[in-house]
Structure 1
């Protein structure tokens, strides 16, 4: 198993907590805030810790930040916290994924691009799910499997509309 499995399981909050536009905005802003804080607080620690100790420090810091986020949501935005359920706690996974997968050079540029993509994907998924569930009456759009199917369709549309970066002479060869 490679370390990229963290990226796949990081989709759980995105798929579970984007039933409405409000939930999509809330979970994406929480993810951006949490990941940004985690990277900002880990920056001074990386140079002083060994690789194994850095991983443990990252996990401990992530658990602390996620717990503070969850308690803050329950204290100041209880109806939203009840709608989001336990999905804000799963935002620890993208933090750990960013810590393990981002290279040391151009780290923050890639992080900002990734968080921007998460924000756009979350908003698109929330808008589509709410429109499909409320306006068209498709009940599957409110469920997690429907969100996974819709995310696949949105990614397929993105790949279709995005200009190809591969040269035409290399398309058929290995």
Structure 2
């Protein structure tokens, strides 16, 4: 899977729609739902369509699913829909990226692991931003530049925790 492209496309909803834990949980759940449904609906279509027909079907299906999601949010959760603003529409781009990054192979495990990582990062960002904004009275954490700084700190913490020692064959001889 082309992870740098997926990470780049996922940054806008991750940074913009995670001001609170509720918003972060909502965008994570919406992403899981729409991308999962897109993959599920495209599975039988991949076998019968090829080339531009498959691309056209994927674009239409992603647009359909995201439109249904936005209409559902406006009908049953208007305050949440207004808080999420344009970010649920960007899930359609993630659907297309998943479709063509994974290709014709049904790599459900790879897709599920990537989506689970995105959802957990959304929830971690939302929780941290809400805690820093409300309890630590750090207003910057609830703004977009603060989210970018916080993401950098979370990634640095992740790299520090997952730091591995180089194998002995890579170490120089003394």
State TM-score, norm by structure 1: 0.89
1:123 correspondence with 2:123: yes
Once the two structures are superposed, the pairs formed by residues 89-108 of structure 1 within 5 Å of their partners are 89-105=89-105, 107-108=107-108
* Structure 1 ranges of 4+ moved more than 2 A: 2-7, 103-106, 163-172
Contact 1:133 1:139 (8 Å CA) reproduced: yes
- Cα drift, residue 164 of structure 1: 2.9
CA radius of gyration, larger in: 2
**Partner SS for 2:18:** coil
Answering whether residue 79 of structure 2 is matched by residue 88 of structure 1, we say no
Which runs of no fewer than 5 residues in structure 2 stay unpaired? Answer: none
- Deviation for aligned residue 1:130: 0.5
- TM superposition score normalised by structure 2: 0.89
Q: Which residue of 2 aligns with 1:74?
A: 74
The question of whether the paired residues in 2 share the 8 Å contact of 1:3 and 1:100 is answered with no
Aligned length: 171
Give the C-alpha shift of residue 52 in structure 1: 2.4
Q: Structure 1: 5+ residue runs without aligned partners?
A: none
Deviations 1:90-129 (A, max 9, x none): 1112111111212544610001101110111011000110
Q: Secondary structure at the match of 2:48?
A: coil
Mapped partners of 1:112, 1:91: distance in 2: 16
* SS of equivalent to 1:10: helix
Determine the C-alpha separation between the residues in 1 that align with 2:171 and 2:43: 40
8 Å Cα contact 1:4/1:101 also seen in 2: no
Note the alpha carbon deviations across 1:135-157, whole angstroms, 9 max, x for none: 11222211112111111211111
